[in-house]
Amino acid sequence: MNAQLKGFALIGFSGAILCCLFLFGYVGSSGNRIRREHGLQLPQSARRFVCRGDAWMHRFSDSGAASAFEMDSSDLPIFVSQLKIRNTDAKNCCILPANSQYQIRRPWMSGVPLRTYRCESPTGDELDVQIWNIDEGHVGVLLYTDWN
């Protein structure tokens, strides 16, 4: 095989690997990544995903996953019903660590969240969930899963 053909094969193989990593939720911002890292089912209306963190390292060290997305307000009861809530916090509190790899900023994250839930995590040691109002028909959801 000549060098140019080997180069094209390597690029194609690398592209296929990256595509698989995205589809299975190991890189990028996607619903698949949120499902894998936080262990939650997302409603059909979930959109505008943002994912941060180093959850892929959780088997080796302390790590976390931070995610945000938007969904229809009408899907909120079904989404919240899957949470194993330990307690509810009505105060304005930050659920994300100060480390830059976990920081997420969305336009709807101003003011005070509607609700903060401290939950048992299906995948990690703990799961924090904040619900934010966007408008009459939509809410924003901020998630943080921690592995200690």
Q: What is the pLDDT of residues 87-135, one digit of tens each?
A: 997 666 788 888 888 899 999 998 899 999 999 999 999 999 999 999 9
**Pairing verdict, β 47-53 and 138-147:** unpaired
- Phi, psi (5° rounding) for residue 88? -115, 135
Higher pLDDT, residue 80 or 96: 80
pLDDT number for residue 84: 97
Res. 26: pLDDT tops 80? no
Cα 84 to Cα 28: distance, rounded to the nearest angstrom: 27
Q: Which helix (H) or strand (E) holds 128?
A: strand 126-135
pLDDT number for residue 25: 44
Q: Taking the model in full, what pTM does it have?
A: 0.79
pLDDT number for residue 93: 79
Query: What one-letter code names the amino acid at 94?
Result: C
